[in-house]
Amino acid sequence: MRSVALSAVLIGMLIAYALFAPRVQMVDLVGRLGPIMLFLATISIVINLAARAGVFHRVAAIAARGRAASGPGLWILVVLLSVVSTIFLSLDTTAVLVTPLVLALAGRAGNDPIPLALTVVWIANTGSLLLPVSNLTNLLAMETGLFDETSHYVKVAAMPAAASLAVTVGFVWMVFRRRLRTPTGTPVASREPGTPASSHPLLPLAGIVMVILLPLLATSIPFWWSTSAAAMVLVTAFAVTDRSALRPSLIPWTALALAIGLTVAVQVVHSLGVEQLVRAAFAHLEGDSVGTLFVSAATGAVLSNLINNIPAYLLLEPAAASGAALIALLIGSNAGPIVTPWASLATLLWADQLRRAGHIVPWQQFATLGIPLAIGAITVSVAALSLSQR
């Protein structure tokens, strides 16, 4: 009920903006948000139907076979699952799909679930820089015109993205290596929650669709084309085989409404003169020097933790005059929001999955660990970005 009310309020904001904003601004906003919202809707359909077919549980089950699926071996598996999911399917997908799988695998192996769960949420945020589809902020950045195509974006983002992931993985091992090595309980011999008792008839097709889709998301083909085609294939197949899976809840309406509402709100704020203030505040900074890049990243990180990374990015976006400056801002708004729970939607989704499974990470502990990780990931990533521009 709350989600419906929130969606109604945010949609009302959009309608009000459409009625009173200049037509040119409204056309520009629709042109920018349209492809992004289409992508978010269609990738959600693909992910949810693939999950219904059992694709992700099958991947986790195959990867977890053998003695390596416990202790450090299980942690490495969690890292790989989280990295692939975040890069190709977005940080929110990692929070929703990978978290319960990891908790189930930890229970089956008798490992402490908390270090593994923190690995998931940290990689979901700090690892969401490499591709435009990895994070909504990246998609917004692609619409600024500072990147010609996906390959241009990836070229600029590759080194800082790798640096951020390396710092995160190293930090987790440094802090939790003893808990990762030592089993804490008796393994639970049961199938993962939500795993179908028998294979879904569309499992092979859904698996093929995912295998084809993932590499396409890293090409210059518009990402909403690829996800729309994949969604059409799966929806058609499910309409014939498993019609009950085709529900409105396949699309995250509240998340879409929230994204639209935040974007409209920031657009209104900018139209009141804030955009000029932001440009003026950063005007004295010199080009793409390491100092300038670090200020952009640090400002993005601090503001993200104060409000949320989406409005933080949108508020500061006008100050980015180059691709490198925009990537620096993304470093801050992607890797930085791991201190406060509201800084990233993925963190809230992750916490909800933990709660559903009966686990809790105190927010004070989350912030205490998140501060040094955010500082380290941002600093090393900005240094890598600066080096890559020479």
**At which residue do the structure tokens 């987790």 appear?**
172
Residue 275 near residue 314 (C-beta atoms within 8 A): no
61-100 pLDDT per residue, tens: 777 676 556 688 899 999 999 999 999 989 999 998 899 8
Q: Is 145 left (phi over 0), alpha (psi -120 to 50) or beta?
A: left
| pLDDT more than 90, % of the chain | 53
Domain boundaries, the chain: 2-388
Nearest to 213 by CA among 199, 225, 200: 225
227-270 pLDDT per residue, tens: 999 999 999 999 999 999 999 988 888 778 877 887 788 877 87
**Band of the pLDDT at 362, cuts 50, 70, 90?**
very high
**At which residue do the structure tokens 């620096």 appear?**
328
In angstroms, the CA 100 to CA 193 distance is 8
In angstroms, the CA 298 to CA 288 distance is 15
Average pLDDT over residues 217-234: 92
Rounded to the nearest angstrom, the gap between the alpha carbon of residue 171 and the centroid of all alpha carbons in its chain is: 20
pLDDT on residue 191: 46
In angstroms, the CA 91 to CA 126 distance is 9
Residue 342 near residue 319 (C-beta atoms within 8 A): no
Question: Residue 201 pLDDT more than 60?
Answer: yes
